[in-house]
Structures are given as structure tokens and as C-alpha cells.
Amino acid sequence: MRCLEAEDIVKELEEKGFLISPRTLKLILNAENPREVADKLIEQADGFVIDVAELESLEKTKVESKKEVIVEKTLFHAIAKDIEADIKLIEKEVQTGEGTVEDFVQYFRNRYEKISAMLRKRAVPITRLLDVREKSNGKVRVIGMLSEKRLTKNGHVFIRLEDLVTSINALVPANNRELIAKAERLMLDEVAAFDGRMSNGLFIINEIIEPDIESMRTVKTIDDDIIFAMLSDLHIGSKLFMKDNFGHMLNWLKGRVGSEKDKQIASRVKYITIAGDICDGIGIYPGQENELEITDIYKQYEVLEQYLVEEIPEYIHVVLIPGNHDAVRNADPQPKLPKELVPRLYEAENVHLLGSPGWAELHGFKLLLYHGTSLADFVSQLPHVTFEKPELFMEEALKKRHVHPYFGGKPVIPQNEDIMVIEETPDIFHTGEAHHNAYCVYRGTVCISSGTWQETTEYQTKQGHKATPAILPIFEAKTGRIKSIHFDREFSVEVVK
């Protein structure tokens, strides 16, 4: 074989007008790929004679080329890889209720007990609704769940309050504009405290106190220089899923694209949280079948598994929850994605699954993850909350200490424990659903709505939604700063908060 190969190489060189010494020919034949070496020599030869010097020059070039590749690879050092992950998942049971009267009674009773316990920690004593009529001459504080709220023809706000025993009718006077504004921000089925006095069978309210989170807090920071990256609403399987932009983001995570400064940011990413609507699903909205690239629900999740298991570095830990497009029940609270749907995610040591809402403690930060299904209810009941300002929805949820208080809008399944009560104060509150990036810090809690990786659908356009796709929010744990990284245009980083 070597003789035939030698004859072929010599013949080809002679046909092209080159002469080759026996020693050079021997060195070529001993190379790993003789044909490739011969072709390179023809390309680079300065004269008609190919000798050992030409070959040595070629070998030197190849060595330098290899050195350059090695140097390029060592430029990206993942700082986060050297920092051990610290993860605690707080899993709460998601039950399947039958929707009986008893289920609803227990569900609302549990909510009332949890939130009233928060309100009772204040210094002011609480009077039961049953006893409030006996204190007709004095100011008292009561706790109640709103079962009715409406504006009267005289401009007052009428409210019906309930506790575990009875109910009373209450009124916010029209002449107290500041209090009227507060009343407008109350939602049905939320639990709050009210100061006031009885007058002619009505409880006249002069103050409204929502449970709210602690006020004297600043943004939590730690010594480790790591980054949390937030994703949501990928909608894998949709024709409008921005796979090129998403792929660019994954390459950035691996240090393959961007400037040295950009790569330095990527090197510190330790955690990724994903707030639902990971896949587009099937039959979710009218005309969806016309916008699907992958019509098999299992194949949609196979693509998700490929992204998370094969493309994201193992030292980066991913915590994900479902959304209303995902293959779990549509009603809140939602269970985590089942093992039979995403077996590879259950096998991966760096992927962690929770339901929605879900709680996790990452590197000492308490994270509340909620897809945001109730956003539409907040928008319909609170005039200042819009789909373009989802951070206001997050603020209101924290004030009410509940991510989905209203029953009668977006679907809710009652269960013995209302796990949608915000029992602890989160350091980070991450939601999706809005397809709109938004950020705020409320009483020390970092609130992030992480936008989308899907172009605006025809259905969303008809609904008047304005998406902000392919923008990745990140939180710097050491500085407490929020930044957004743009993959929707030429790569850029913006400090948001």
C-alpha cells in the first residue's frame, strides 16, 4: 500500500511540475495523513523543488496552529466550576382534590389561618368579627377575607369581610381618597386587617393593613462571586421558538462567544432558574397547531432534555418549574414535570425539578419561583397592574403574601394546605408568563420577570401583548446587582438595578 501511495504522490507532484527528494518522500509517507501533507506542500511550496526544509516549515505551522487552539481553549476559565453548589429544595405536596365543598372550606380555612397568624404578630390586638358589634363605640382591628368588593353610587367602596365564624359589611368612605386608593388594590379572597368602628350596622374602615413582607431589609449579598441566570417561556416546539438566539446564549455560557469581559460574566454563572412554559405544549390556545414545529409532546421534551443535559455545563445547576403550557395540570398549584416525560432530567445531577410555585435555597438565597398564571387575575382586578409591568404584579403578590389569591379566574385546585401562601420572605422572586422583562427591588426582595425566548404569536398580538424576547436577566450574588444580557440584537450587557 505504501509503494502504491508513494507512486501516486510522486506522479501527482511531477504532473504539477514539482520534484521531490527521496528523504522528503519518506517523511511524507511516515506522516499520519500523507495525502493531506502532500496537498499542503503543493499549496505552500515557493519553488519547483520540495525538500525537507519545506516539510519542516509545514510541520512548524501545524504545531503553531495547535498551540493557538490550545491557548484559545484555556482563555475561558469557569470561576463557578471551582465553587461548590449549595442547594436545598423545599418541596411541598401538590394534592389532587375532588373539588368538593369540604375541599374548598379546608383550603380557604388554611389560607385564613396562615395569613391571620402573620397579621396577629403586629402589636395591635385583634377583635373577632363576631364580637365587633359589641364594641360599637371604639376603634378596633379585625381580620377578614374579602368575599365582595364594589364601588357604590356615592363613591364609597363596599367590602364584605369573612372570618372562620361569621361575616360583616364594611365601608371605605368616599372622602378618604388615600384609603380609597388602597381599597382599589385589594383583591377578592385575599386576607387583610382593617382598623375601624361600627356605625349603623356598618364597619367604617379608616385603615387597611395587608400582611406584606418585612420592611427593614436590603438586597442580600454573599462573598462568593457567582451569578444566577433566569429563564422562562422558552416554548420549545413552537415555530417561533428563537433557537438561534437560544443557541447563542448557550454558547456564551460555555465561553465560546463574546468579548473577554462577556466571557468573564459567563464564567460566574452557577445557577439557572427556569420559571415555566418550557415547552409550547399542544392545544393550549386557538390556532396553536399552525404555529407548532414539533407536534409530538414527548419530542418537545426530548429537545428540552438535550438542551439541559448536553448543552449546559455540569457545574451549572438548573432549577425548573412548569407553566400553563407544560404537560402537567393547568390549574395552580402545579406539580413538577413527571419522570416519565423527562427521565434524563431526573437522572442529571445538576437538574432539579419543582412544582409551581416552588421554593429553593441556593447558596443561602431563598428563591420563590412561580410561573405567573395568576397575572391575568391581578391585571383584571387591580387597575395599576398591566402585562407590560409584571413587576407590579410581583409587588402585589408579596404585599398580599399570596401568588394566586383570587378564586374564580385562572383555575385553582383546592387542597388541604394552601401552598400558594408566601409564608417566608424570599430573597429573589422569579416569574414568567408575561413574556416581558421587568425588574424591581421591593423591600429588599429582588423581583425578576424573565421575558421569553419566543417571538410574538398571532394570538398574543390580538391580546395586545408586547414581548421582549431573547433577553437574559442575571443577578450578581456578590454585588446584589441585576443585569440584562441581550441576545435579541448585537451582544450587550445592561445594568438594570
| More confident call, 259 vs 2 | 259
User: What global pTM score does this model have?
Assistant: 0.83
Residue 407 has φ and ψ, to the nearest 5°, of: -105, 120
Which amino acid type is present at position 18?
F
- 179 residue type, one letter: L
Residues near 74 by Cβ (< 8 Å), separated by ≥ 6? none
For the chain, the structural domain boundaries read 2-74, 79-96+214-495, 120-209
Q: Read off the pLDDT of residues 116-128 as tens digits, 9 standing for 90 and up.
A: 999 999 989 999 9
Least confident of 22-31, 181-190, 235-244, 274-283: 22-31
Which pLDDT score is estimated for 49?
52
Longest dimension (CA), the chain: 117
Residues facing 17 on adjacent strands: none
Residue whose entry in the numeric block shows the C-alpha cell 427593614: 216
Q: In this predicted structure, what is the pLDDT of residue 70? A: 38
* Cell digits of residue 329: 395540570
- Tens of pLDDT, residue by residue over 61-80, are 454 444 343 334 446 899 99
C-alpha–C-alpha distance, residues 144 and 210, integer Å: 11
pLDDT higher than 70, residue 27: no
Cell of 235: 416554548
The residue among 460 and 380 whose pLDDT is bigger is 380
Amino acid 136: pLDDT? 66
**pLDDT classification of 46: cutoffs 50, 70, 90:** low
Q: What is the mean pLDDT of residues 305-331?
A: 97
- Within 8 A by CB and 6+ apart from 247, the residues are none
CA–CA separation, 275 and 317 (whole Å): 14
Q: What is the pLDDT of residue 65?
A: 41
Cβ atoms within 10 Å, residue 81: 13
Give ∠ CA 405-409-414 in degrees, rounded to 5.
55
Cell of 67: 498551540
Residues 256-274: what's their mean pLDDT?
Answer: 94
Q: Is the dihedral of CA 139, 421, 117, 166 positive or negative?
A: positive
- The share of the chain scoring above pLDDT 70, in percent, equals 85
Using the predicted structure, report yes or no on whether residue 384 has a pLDDT greater than 60. Answer: yes
Cell readout for 403 is 401568588
**Residue, of 114 and 29, whose pLDDT is higher:** 114
Q: What is the strand order of the sheet 351-353 is part of?
A: 351-353, 317-321, 269-275, 227-231, 471-476, 482-486, 492-495
CATH for the 120-209 domain, from 2.60.40.10, 3.40.50.300, 3.30.110.30, 2.40.50.140: 2.40.50.140
What's the pLDDT at 73? 45
Residue 129 has pLDDT above 50, yes or no: yes
Judge contact between 197 and 136, C-beta under 8 A: yes
Confidence of residue 133 (pLDDT cuts 50, 70, 90): confident
CATH architecture, domain defined by 79-96+214-495: 4-Layer Sandwich (3.60)
| Mean pLDDT confidence for 213-219 | 94
Say whether pLDDT at 175 is over 50: yes
**What is the average pLDDT across 96-111?**
87
pLDDT band at residue 397 under the 50/70/90 scheme: very high
Contact by Cβ (8 Å): 178, 388: no
Q: So what's the pLDDT on residue 99? A: 74
- pLDDT computed for residue 259 by the predictor: 87
The predicted structure's pLDDT at residue 278: 98
Q: What is the mean pLDDT of the segment spanning 89-100?
A: 82
For residue 68, the model assigns a pLDDT of: 40
Exposed e or buried b per residue across 128-138, where buried means at least 16 C-beta atoms within 10 angstroms of its C-beta? ebeebeeeeee
Q: Say if residue 466's pLDDT is above 60.
A: yes
d(CA 462, CA 434): 15
For residue range 288-315, what is the model confidence (pLDDT) as tens digits?
888 999 999 999 999 999 999 999 999 9
Place of cell 349603623: 200
pLDDT the model gives residue 389: 96
Cβ-based neighbours of 91, under 8 Å, separated by 6 or more: 354, 355, 358
More confident residue, 346 or 3: 346
Using an 8 Å Cβ cutoff, are 417 and 397 in contact? no
User: Of 130-134, 147-151, 351-355, which gets the smallest average pLDDT?
Assistant: 130-134
Phi and psi at residue 235, in whole multiples of 5°?
60, 50
Cβ atoms 482, 446 nearer than 8 A: yes
pLDDT, mean over the chain: 89
Please report which confidence band the pLDDT of residue 36 belongs to, taking 50, 70 and 90 as the band edges: confident
